[in-house]
Amino acid sequence: MNRQSNIITALYCRLSRDDDVQGDSNSIANQKRLLSRYAKDYGLPNTKYFVDDGYTGTNFNRPGFTEMIEAIEDGYIGAVMVKDYCAIIGLNQKDLENQGI
């Protein structure tokens, strides 16, 4: 099989606290919906969700994030999509303003 056909578009979703909904939190479900729609609209193939529901973004000790980074390092991911950069770095607008960004 052609290695190019195995390339994944990673859809990364994170929420720092669970909202007690069985399964994905409402925010995670919304992030998945938005990201999958965007990937479809722009023809991004082979999507895979990497999810950290209930994990802080203030460190990188997150199972979904770790799995995604390993897949990137192994050459299986061609693009990473997030709804908001805060999913990766764990900062929100107020945090950025407090840091003068």
Give the model confidence (pLDDT) of 13-51 as tens digits. Answer: 988 765 555 555 788 999 999 999 999 999 987 899 999
Q: Structure pTM?
A: 0.75
In angstroms, the CA 37 to CA 55 distance is: 24
**How far is residue 95's CA from residue 92's CA, in Å, rounded to a whole number?**
5
**Dihedral sign from CA coordinates of 5, 85, 22, 39:** negative
What are residue 77's phi and psi, to 5 degrees?
A: -115, 130
For residue 19, give the nearest of 29, 9, 11, 5 by alpha carbon.
29
The pLDDT tens digits for 49-101 are: 999 988 887 778 899 999 999 999 999 999 999 887 665 555 444 544 555 54
Task: Quote the CA–CA distance of 8 and 93 in Å, as a whole number.
Answer: 30
